[in-house]
Amino acid sequence: MAAISRDEVAHLARLARIEMTDTELDHLSDEMQVILGAVARVQEVAGANVPPTSHPLEMKNVYRPDVVVPSLTNAQALSGAPAQEEERFKVPQILGEE
């Protein structure tokens, strides 16, 4: 398993422009060791006959044809509105702007 030193964690933090205390660097260095160990275990299990995937199940997008169909007219859309003005829905003012 590849080890990551505290100095390497500090270098990465500087590159990312993240200020870290000594305590945080020590803690993150330990956490990185745990993460690297988990990745190493996964790599041991994944054999040459297992293709890399991003999801355990096959994903497939389902598209419908893009067909233009008639839609509501302005009058039909506004017919159930409690208030309307200039062929638009009228709603209460909420931001205090004019």
Helix (H), strand (E), coil (C) string for 74-96: HHHHHCCCCCEECCEECCCCCCC
In percent, the amount of the chain with pLDDT more than 90 equals 54
Which residue segments constitute the domains of the chain, with CATH numbers given? 6-45 (1.10.20)
- State residue 57's pLDDT score: 84
Mean pLDDT, the chain, rounded, equals: 87
Residue (of 32, 24, 23) closest to 4 by Cα position: 32
Structure pTM?
0.44
